[in-house]
Amino acid sequence: GAVVSQHPSRVICKSGTSVKIECRSLDFQATTMFWYRQFPKKSLMLMATSNEGSKATYEQGVEKDKFLINHASLTLSTLTVTSAHPEDSSFYICSARDPAGGPGDTQYFGPGTRLTVL
């Protein structure tokens, strides 16, 4: 099946620094990737939709200048949390849509990145 990887799996950083998270589709080309944020014991909150070669579409309430998304190739999207603060600590999960995956618009999810900002 389709595999999506994320790197790093865990990161701890100091307040005020920036952190980059990578999301890769390993065995398919993903024209669209999605970034989610998950709070403890909560559901996933869609942050933005990342389209290859164009600007990301952010959900209402998500600061585009704080959460920079780049989708430079069909297999890689990156999320950069700029000037991170403790309230940005969370579990960030990406997903990729496999356009060749048949009906149902199936999204395949990465394993997630646990960000802790001290």
Partner 1 sequence: GDSVTQMEGPVTLSEEAFLTINCTYTATGYPSLFWYVQYPGEGLQLLLKATKADDKGSNKGFEATYRKETTSFHLEKGSVQVSDSAVYFCALSDHGNNRLAFGKGNQVVVIP
Exactly one of 19, 71, 95, 96 binds partner 1 (CB under 8 A); that residue is 95
Distance CA 54, CA 74 (A): 12
Sign of CA dihedral 38, 33, 116, 10: positive
Burial class (CB in 10 A: 0-12, 13-18, 19+), 109: middle
Q: Which stretch binds partner 1 (CB under 8 A): 12-20, 34-42, 61-69, 73-81?
A: 34-42
Exactly one of 40, 53, 61, 103 binds partner 1 (CB under 8 A); that residue is 103
Query: Facing residues of 92 across strands?
Result: 37, 113
Residue 72, CB-side half-sphere exposure with 13 Å CA sphere: 5
For the bound state, the minimum distance from the C-beta of residue 86 to partner 1, rounded and expressed in Å, comes to 21
43 touches partner 1 by CB under 8 A: yes
Distance CA 36, CA 79 (A): 10
Binding mask 3-22 for partner 1 (x = CB under 8 A): ---x----------------
61 touches partner 1 by CB under 8 A: no
Which residues here bind partner 1, judged by CB under 8 A?
6, 32, 34, 41-44, 46, 49, 93, 95, 97, 103-112
